[in-house]
Each structure stands twice: as C-alpha cells, then as structure tokens.
Structure 1
Amino acid sequence: MLPNACRTALAAFIVLTGAGSSRADVGLPASATQTDPFRHVQALQNIATANGGNRAAGTPGYDRSAEYVADQLRAAGYNVRFEDFTFPFFDERSPPVLVAGPSEPGAFTPPRDALRTLASSGSGDVTAPVQAVDLGLDAEPLQASTSGCEREDFAGFTPGHIALVRRGTCPFQTKAEQAQAAGAAGLIIMNQGTGDQTGIFGGRLTTQAAIPVLGVTTEAGRKLAEAAQDSSRNRVRLKVDVETGTRSTRNVLADRGEMSGPYVVVGAHLDSVSEGPGMNDNASGSAAVLETALRLAKEPATAPPVRFAFWGAEERGLIGSRHHLDALSDEERRRIRFYINLDMVGSVNPGRFIQLSQTERTAETAGIIQAFTDHFESKNLPVEERSRNQRGFGSDDAAFAGKNIPTLGLFTGAGNAKSDEHAGRFGGQAGQPYDPCYHKACDNTENVDRVVLGQMTDALTQVLRGARPIMPDR
C-alpha cells in the first residue's frame, strides 16, 4: 500500500448519452443482460463461427469483429474511426512435420503438440543432419541459454545442416539470422529447460525467414541432440508449409472529449490467432473495454479525455498499436499520460493480475494501480501486482512502453501452469494452465470464465469512473 499522500486516482471519464444495440445478425445469448460483457464474447464467437472459425487479422472474421465493435460504439454516441494499415501476412497451411531418423526403424517423431512453427518462418521441406549449436545441456544444474546468439556459436557449423539451438537470452530473430548466415537449411529452437520453460512455446520472428523455423519442447530437443551425436541415425526431416504476403486490416478507435490536452488510452487487441476463435485471447479483453465504454456512455461526461482502442494484428507482432503510435506526432504521444491494456481477462483457471511493463511504479501509474487494488480489496477479491518479466507475455502495452509511455494492464493468466501459491491465493487448480486453450482451436466461449470476466470489467468501469485525477506533467 502507498501512503495516503501518494494515492492518486484516475479520473471519472467519458461519456455520452444514448444507447443502442448491435446488428441483428450477430445474435446475442438470451441469458446475457444488457450490461454483461459476456454478450460481446458470444457475439464475437458467432462471428468467428460464421467466418471460418477464427478472427485473425486480414480475414473476414476480423473485419466483421471490427464492424461489430464500431456499431456498438456508434449506437452509444461515440465518435468512431477506423485506422487502416497493412501488415506482413503469415498463415500456416498445414501442421509442421518433424521426424528424426526417417529411414530407421527407431525413428523419433515428436507428438504434434510438441511442435510449433514460429510466425514468419520460411517454408521448406528439408531432410538433413541436425547439428547442435552451443546447447550446454550437460551443465548441472542447467543454466540459462545463450545458444545461437553469437556468430561464434556457429563456428564449425556445416552448411546445409539443420541447426538445433536452445531458447533464451536473445530474440528468436537473432538466432534465425545467425543460423541463416551460417548456411543452415532449417532451424529448430528447443525450450531452454530451466524452471517451467520446458513445454511448447509460441514465438515470432520480426522479419520473414528464408528457412523453416520450428519450436519444440525440451524433451523433443534433447532427443534431437542425442540423434545428432549418432551419425547412423542423424537424419532429420523438417517440413513447414506457410503462406506469406501483405494484407490490410484496421484498428477501431473511439474518442471522448477534446484530445488537444492530456488523455488516457484504454485498449485491447481484437484479433485472434488463426488456430481458433480467440475468445479468452482476446474477445475477453475486447468485451471488457467495449462494455466499459458502453456503461460510461450513459453517465455525465467528465475529464480527462479518453481514447478507447481495439487493436488489429496484435497476434502478428503488436502491429496495430505500433502503427497507431508511429502515426502520432511526438507532441501527441507526450500527451498520453498512461495506457491501460486488457488482454486475456476471462481465463478458466484464473488469477487476478495488475500487470506492469515497467519494473516499478511511476508517478503516472501509482494512483491508477492503487485504485484497482482498492476496488478488488473492497470486493474481497485477491489481486497481485507484478511486472511483465514475471510472465514473459507480450501484448500491446509493450508497444506503449517502447515509446516511454507508462502502462499497466489487467490479466488473468495464459498458457503457463498455475503455481501452488497462486492456487492458494486465487483458487483453481495448481499445476494446470490458467488458460488450457491458449492459442488453440478450443479457445471458444467454453474457455471463458464469465465470473472473472465480469469482475475485471467491473474493476475497469469503477476505476475509470473514479475519484479526482492527478495527472503529473512529463
């Protein structure tokens, strides 16, 4: 708790009069009330179902999702605009293939859920020896990895081989660039095996790779490393089949108030991954932001101004939020006092987290953090404040933090396992993922905890309608 002298609060916010409903063809659940954020989750699920099962950026499902949000906001009286942009498109046309020793009776084929193609991987069907690169797997205890981060790691690498590196220390992009420079025909990145970093993981390269790039579990990586030491069975087939190109998509923005002075941005990404409809990730956050905006539209308007934002192409690398910030002038960016992000706020095995991109509170965020804490405590709901590096999970708040704009977010957990401590604090099952359907086809309405979604939405609503703001100059 901060001393009373430090406890600032965010402002009562926007708002307009009027109300409205969405287009009739979306279909809302009969059990949802007119202030229940789950009604928006259901509407977005219906959109995904009618459009190929997902709402990924650059697809009809996303376009229809953006129209739904815009219709809701306009009907409530908001000024709404679309912000169009293009992005590098990446789509996996078929699951990756990885087989070690394909001509041997004892060939090792990792299970499908032990492999994941990294976004922006190149396509390719390569059969070649695998070569370990500075893995350091013999260390006891196992240390954090720098495998593949330096040119020297590839000294003696045979061009045409498939490189095997460990995750850790440097970006995936760096490992891919070093592997390509060394002449690798493909790249396999195994989870580094320390702490809970043993399972499958997602990732993205910042630029398109010329070779196939695959992520695998620690167990699969160890077996590949063993195969690399046995020339009689060191023959690996690696196949990645992807489509790349450029597509267009859009952000949805709704402003309230005169934006010439200091203002706050509240946002959530609206797109899903291509694997599924994306109900917890991130129809839940979009629903919470949208419902908060609709609730506040019925109340008297107060300052400071706010911008509600629904970002496109977050799953493609935070592209929508980065585009928005890059399009602003330096003076406009300076007037953003802080950014509030909602990403995954309906996890079925939830925690309640106030997430910081910075490791410490700032003058701008201290009061809003305290306001959220006070709200949850008033409802006897446990909450935990922590910085991003405690979860290794990136969202649009990182785009704002990259521009030195103070940020915070609400979050209920992703695909990592809940600890015993958090199960004791928040309930639920220790050892099980907060979200068992993270980035999977099963991320549908059954994968959203309606109660915790309501709690996070109520918290956002109450804080935005809260006490007198103090907005320090920067």
Structure 2
Amino acid sequence: MNRGARVRAGGAVAAIVLLVAACSDEPLAPPPVDPAALAGAVGIDAVVGHLTELERIATEHDGNRAVGTAGYDASVDYVAGRLRDAGFDVQTPEFDVRSFDVETETLTVAGAPVPVRALEFSPSTGPDGLTARLVPVPADDTPGCEASDYDGLDVSGAVVLVTRGVCPFFVKQQVAAERGAAALLVANNEDGALAGATLGEEGNDLVPAAGISGADGRALAAAPTTVTLVLDTRVDSVRSRNVLAQTTTGSTDDVVVVGAHLDSVPEGPGINDNGTGVAAVLETALQLGSDPGVTNAVRFAFWGAEEVGLVGSTDYVASLDDAAREDIALYLNFDMLGSPNPGYLVYDGDDSDAVGAGPGPEGSAGIERTFLGYLTSRGVAADGTDFDGRSDYGPFVDAGIPSGGVFSGADDRKTPEQAGKWGGTGDAPFDPNYHSPQDTLANIDRAALAVAASAVGYGVGTYARTVTGPDGVPVGPQRAEVRSDG
C-alpha cells in the first residue's frame, strides 16, 4: 500500500469512528497517557502560580503554614479546591497530632548565655532547668548515632554534646538517654544556628534536647564545663488533615500513590520546603485530569504534619488494611524541588551509592532508573540520595512499598564535584534558607524547579501507564511474596 492509500484508509477509518461516535451514547475513551507529553504539560509558570498562592497564604497567616495553624488550613482549602474544580473527588481525612510550644529556652555557660533552641517535641526540664557537667562526644562518621560513640565516656547525669549529621535527631536522643545522659545538645554542622529541627513525637518520652550553632558547639567542646539548660516546653494534641484525590479511571489493584507534604515549619512560609513539591504534584494532577486514559489509578496525596515527624503519611499507611496496602503498587515522593543551590538527586533505590539506610523495597531500583533516564534525556547527570527517613517515603518504605522520587537538596552541602557538574556553589548548603523565614518564592531556583516538576509528570505518566517491565515493580503474587518476606 502506498502512502496515498494509507492516508485515504486512515481518513475512512476516522470517518467511520466519528459516525459511530455520533450514533452512540457512549463517550469516547480518553487517549492513553503519554509520559513525555504529561511532563511537558507541567509547566513552570503554572507551578509558580501555585507557589504564589501558598506564599500569599503564609503572608496572611503569621508567615507560615505549620500544622495546627490557620495557614495550614488555608493551604488545605487551596489544594482541595483546585482538585475539586478539576473534577476530583477529594477527601480530607483527619488525624491527631501533637503540637509543641516553648515557654523558655536558655543555655548558660560560666554565667554567660549561649543561644539555644529546643528540638521540637523535646521533653521539658521544667521552669527551673537543670545544671550538669557538659560531656562532648567525639565526632566521627556517625556522631552520637551509635552506643559505641560513647565508649570510654562517663555521661551519667551529664549534658552530652554531639554534632549534627547522618542519623535523625531522635536516634541521637535515644542513644544519649540509654547511656544515662540527663540532656542532649546537638551542634549544627555549620556555623549558623540549628533551626527547625524535630525529634518526632517519640522524642517527648526521653531526655530534653536542644540545638546550638556549630561555632558555639566547637567552643564548648574545646573547654567543657558545667552548664545550666532550661527548656520549659509543652506538648498538646491538635487535629490535622491530609488531602487525598484519586483518578476515577485505572486499575485499583495497582495504585500509583504520589505525595508531597503540605505543611511548613513555624519559622517560615515553606515555599521550597515543601511548596515546590506540592505545586508540582498539584499541577501534575490538574494536567492528568480526574478521568484520564490510564492503566493504573493514580492517588494524589498532600500530607499534613510531615515537619513534626511524618505524622500524616504515617497515619495514612497505618490506617490501611493488608489488602489496601497490597493494592498500592508504588509510592512517588516529592519534597523540595527548587533549592537555590540546587542538586539533581534521585532516591537511591538500589543502594548503588552504599550510603546510609540501604536499598528501598524491591521495585525501588526500577523507579530510580526511570527518573535517572528522564533526567539524562534532559541533559542532567543526576546523583543518588539516600532513603534517610527524613520525608514521607518513610512509612511506605517501612511497609515494603517500592518508593522513589527526585529531590533538589536540603541543608546538606553540595560537593565541589557536584558544583562542577551542575553549577552553583560547592561546600555550601543546597538550600541555605532551609527552615527559615527566607524560604520564599524569591529564593527558588526556577530552572531547577522546571526540570524537577517535569520529572514529576514523567514519573506519574510512566507508572500510570504500566507498573511492569524492566523498570517496573512486583505485581500479583510476587508482590505479596516479597512484601511478606520483608
């Protein structure tokens, strides 16, 4: 058949399809999702439009969108409203979360004050505080993260000083408590103050804990003495909400869950952390639509209370019965996509970097390859980043659900080698405004955000189309088998 014949045949088929459609009450099926087209549809102007609204909300509500505040409730209303306008059935399930307030936080050394900030959910010392000797824990590759870090030290009844790094603050607190310490001080790994740090809700049951600047930490470690620490804190219970919306099309036996946390820290508006993830996921949902041509249902989730210990996502995963958890094929997480000194990072599903927590659940390696391949197609040579438990993939990984996503970096430092690949400043934080009032739209790297936001669309489109193949995840009996083995 020559080209002209093919054109005529195509036209005839199209005419027949139109005639049948005109004579039928059945609506035409939506076209199959195209991952590349969805990636291209998640445009930077629309994403920035969502960020503009989130910043407006923060400005109108005491400068933040933190859990338990009117700013957070307004953020929920904005996201839920946009999704409903697009035809989604939106749910906002509630959960309990503990709020944290500080009446007094002081550290006195030889009669002089040293700036200190209570770690969120720190137990109280009471209004009178405690006075004890200071014992620095020598810094190593796991500062204060392992019991062996305390070998040879008598820390019973002492205030111990450890350096920030590697493990969550709660782990440092737990190890110090188990060795008999009365309180914990964490020195930042840079000269500035340690801000926006949390122990998570479990930390309220152990020893008081606070953060100091790196400069003050080095000074105290060089001349340990007796210190007086006052952390007069209070924990209350509040209600918060997640936002959930799912496509009406696609198999519910292989659900693709896509999430970003919606809350900020109290210290700032949270535009990079995590307005960028919210904006990219929201725009992906709006471009995909509520009834797209997908093989697998897509569930969009906007988590509450991430900044106080991944509470919203943890509550959600815990609320699922065994069948509902098994119906989730994979989880894609997007948290901080526009850092001002940006990295191009993909969660290390196969642990090829051999750093930190190890590989993700089976299938995570394929998710990593999907994102690495997409970024390569955009001319970006991405690096891996560890599943270190600091974002909402945590409860999904713990449940054996394959996970992945992209990330532009938080308070860790960009290496000189990474600066050589991507530009920016080596030996400087990816986001110097992390957990601060300066986390604003003016400090977003829009070029990095544009690439990351399109990657969100590509990942969602890829797995909405199929969860099998060389970069797929376990399905059917294999899924049940590998998760039970985990």
TM bucket normalised to smaller:
0.7 to 0.9
SS in 2 for 1:129: strand
Aligned to 2:363: 364
Aligned to 1:123: 124
Amino acid at match of 2:65: R
Shifted more, 257-266 versus 204-213: the winner is: 204-213
Q: Do the aligned partners of residues 223 and 285 (structure 1) sit closer, same or farther apart at CA in structure 2, a change above 3 Å counting?
A: same
- For the residues of structure 1 that align with 2:45 and 2:168, how far apart are their CA atoms? 42
SS in 1 for 2:375: helix
Q: Do the aligned partners of residues 416 and 116 (structure 1) sit closer, same or farther apart at CA in structure 2, a change above 3 Å counting?
A: farther
Q: Do the aligned partners of residues 343 and 185 (structure 1) sit closer, same or farther apart at CA in structure 2, a change above 3 Å counting?
A: same
Aligned to 1:204: 199
Pairing of 1:38-49 with structure 2 (within 5 A): 38-49=48-59
SS in 1 for 2:315: helix
Deviations 1:255-312 (A, max 9, x none): 1136641111000000001111100000000000000111111884222101000000
Aligned-pair CA distance for 1:121: 0.7
- For the residues of structure 1 that align with 2:155 and 2:430, how far apart are their CA atoms? 40
Match of 1:76 among 78, 86, 92: 86
Q: Does 1:149 pair with 2:158?
A: no
Q: Do the aligned partners of residues 350 and 337 (structure 1) sit closer, same or farther apart at CA in structure 2, a change above 3 Å counting?
A: same
SS in 2 for 1:243: strand
Pairing of 1:297-446 with structure 2 (within 5 A): 297=289, 300-356=292-348, 359=351, 360=359, 364-388=363-387, 392=388, 394-446=390-442
- For the residues of structure 1 that align with 2:177 and 2:375, how far apart are their CA atoms? 50
Aligned to 1:261: 253
Q: Do the aligned partners of residues 298 and 35 (structure 1) sit closer, same or farther apart at CA in structure 2, a change above 3 Å counting?
A: farther
Aligned-pair CA distance for 1:417: 1.9
Aligned to 1:286: 278
Q: Does 1:187 pair with 2:184?
A: yes
- For the residues of structure 2 that align with 1:425 and 1:215, how far apart are their CA atoms? 33
Aligned-pair CA distance for 1:197: 11
SS in 2 for 1:370: helix
Amino acid at match of 1:12: V
- Whether the 8 Å CA contact 2:143–2:164 is kept in 1: the answer is yes
Aligned to 2:11: none
Aligned to 1:21: none
- For the residues of structure 1 that align with 2:341 and 2:178, how far apart are their CA atoms? 43
> TM-score normalized by structure 1?
0.79
> TM-score normalized by structure 2?
0.77
Aligned to 1:36: 46
- For the residues of structure 2 that align with 1:65 and 1:13, how far apart are their CA atoms? 30
- For the residues of structure 1 that align with 2:167 and 2:421, how far apart are their CA atoms? 33
Shifted more, 420-429 versus 149-158: the winner is: 149-158
Pairing of 1:180-259 with structure 2 (within 5 A): 185-190=182-187, 200=194, 202-205=197-200, 206-209=202-205, 211-217=207-213, 219-228=215-224, 234-256=225-247, 257=249
- For the residues of structure 1 that align with 2:460 and 2:49, how far apart are their CA atoms? 21
Aligned-pair CA distance for 1:214: 1.1
Amino acid at match of 1:433: P
Aligned-pair CA distance for 1:98: 2.1
- Whether the 8 Å CA contact 1:92–1:243 is kept in 2: the answer is yes
Q: How many residues align?
A: 421
Aligned to 2:459: 463
- Whether the 8 Å CA contact 1:146–1:169 is kept in 2: the answer is no
Shifted more, 76-85 versus 296-305: the winner is: 296-305
Aligned to 2:288: 296
Q: Does 1:59 pair with 2:57?
A: no
Amino acid at match of 2:212: V
Q: Do the aligned partners of residues 154 and 186 (structure 1) sit closer, same or farther apart at CA in structure 2, a change above 3 Å counting?
A: farther
What runs of 5+ residues in structure 2 fail to find an aligned partner?
Answer: 1-31, 36-41, 352-358, 469-473, 480-486
Aligned-pair CA distance for 1:452: 1.8
Q: Do the aligned partners of residues 179 and 416 (structure 1) sit closer, same or farther apart at CA in structure 2, a change above 3 Å counting?
A: closer
Q: Does 1:12 pair with 2:33?
A: yes
- Whether the 8 Å CA contact 1:147–1:165 is kept in 2: the answer is no
- For the residues of structure 2 that align with 1:188 and 1:316, how far apart are their CA atoms? 19
Q: Do the aligned partners of residues 153 and 147 (structure 1) sit closer, same or farther apart at CA in structure 2, a change above 3 Å counting?
A: farther
Amino acid at match of 2:333: N
- For the residues of structure 1 that align with 2:448 and 2:44, how far apart are their CA atoms? 18
Aligned to 1:23: none
- Whether the 8 Å CA contact 2:263–2:274 is kept in 1: the answer is yes
- Whether the 8 Å CA contact 1:148–1:179 is kept in 2: the answer is no
- For the residues of structure 2 that align with 1:381 and 1:152, how far apart are their CA atoms? 42
CA RMSD, aligned part only?
A: 3.3
Deviations 1:125-178 (A, max 9, x none): 425232316x246xxxx564457837986985564x534455678764455456
SS in 1 for 2:391: coil
- Whether the 8 Å CA contact 1:100–1:227 is kept in 2: the answer is no
